[in-house]
């Protein structure tokens, strides 16, 4: 187990690993201190598209953990990178928050609610029937449907709440199409994360709380995988999957004891 401390780079999920909503989880601050004091390369990789890297940095700071915004990569940024490579200068009808809007704008993607190339869906608390209706009609007219991530739920301090996979379902059903999801476990996001860190896969580990996104993405990218049980996955749930994480811990606090 101690070989984790010899890894050069760490990719870490946020929701369910570092925090639940506005509640910092045990060991999160100590883990960041360990990364910094041991000169590790690290990236917080989140399927959430709601916040910008700056907002994520500020949120952690409010919770007592200081991490520069360059250490964050979100599904919003991955989606913007993907669309700008697929169709430079494209336009999109977007349902989402500032993190997604800013990422798309900074990638040169314009907002368009009349005849866009894409309909893009991310997490949002401002979700209406009017938006579902417009999105479904635009997809039926030829726009391609993109989801920032396939997660159906996300953990908060209140409990599990709907995430992008759930919010996009009515649009998929009404338009009769399946969305393309850019976030984990899509290899695109993992490859960009590893490239961002500048380390080889065999020297990199991913830490997450989801078997169907974090762990499978790590396995397919040939990274060592750590599952923490502080988010959505229990030990019994692990048995339902055909693949296994290399390590399982109750949370970051327990993992640190082995390092």
Enumerate the active-site residues. Answer: 13, 15
Residue that has been written with the tokens 């850019």 in this structure: 182
Q: What tokens were used for 153?
A: 């739920």
Compute φ and ψ for 7, nearest 5 degrees: -70, 145
Tell me the chain's radius of gyration from C-alpha atoms: 18
Residue in the block written with tokens 């996979």: 165
Residue 197 token pair: 């860190």
DSSP 213: I
Closest CA to 57 of 67, 42, 47, 70: 67
Which H helix or E strand runs over 101? helix 98-106
Q: How many C-beta atoms lie closer than 10 Å to residue 248's C-beta?
A: 17
Kindly give the interhelix angle for 75-86 and 98-106, rounded to the nearest 10 degrees: 30
Structure tokens at 170: 């009515």
Structure tokens at 118: 């894409």
């Amino acid at each position: 187990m101690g070989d984790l401390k010899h890894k050069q780079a760490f990719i870490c999920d946020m929701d369910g690993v570092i925090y639940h909503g506005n509640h910092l989880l045990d060991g999160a601050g100590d883990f960041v201190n360990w990364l910094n004091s041991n000169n590790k390369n690290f990236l917080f990789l989140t399927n959430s598209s709601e916040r910008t890297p700056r907002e994520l940095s500020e949120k952690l700071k409010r919770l007592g953990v200081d991490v520069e915004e360059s250490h964050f990569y979100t599904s919003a940024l991955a989606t913007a990178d993907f669309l700008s490579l697929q169709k430079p200068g494209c336009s999109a009808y977007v349902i989402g928050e500032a993190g997604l809007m800013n990422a798309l704008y900074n990638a040169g993607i314009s907002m368009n609610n009349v005849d866009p190339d894409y309909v893009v869906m991310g997490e949002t608390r401002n979700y209406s029937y009017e938006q579902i209706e417009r999105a479904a009609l635009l997809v039926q007219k030829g726009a391609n449907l993109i989801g920032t991530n396939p997660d159906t739920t996300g953990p908060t301090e209140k409990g599990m709440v709907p995430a992008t996979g759930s919010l996009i379902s009515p649009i998929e059903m009404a338009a009769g199409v399946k969305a393309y999801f850019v976030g984990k476990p899509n290899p695109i996001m993992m490859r960009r994360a590893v490239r961002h860190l500048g380390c080889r896969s065999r020297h990199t580990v991913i830490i997450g709380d989801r078997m169907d996104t974090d762990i499978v993405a790590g396995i397919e990218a040939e990274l060592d995988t750590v599952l923490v049980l502080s988010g959505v996955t229990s030990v019994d749930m692990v048995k339902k999957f055909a693949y296994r994480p290399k390590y399982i811990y109750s949370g970051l606090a327990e993992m640190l004891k082995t390092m």
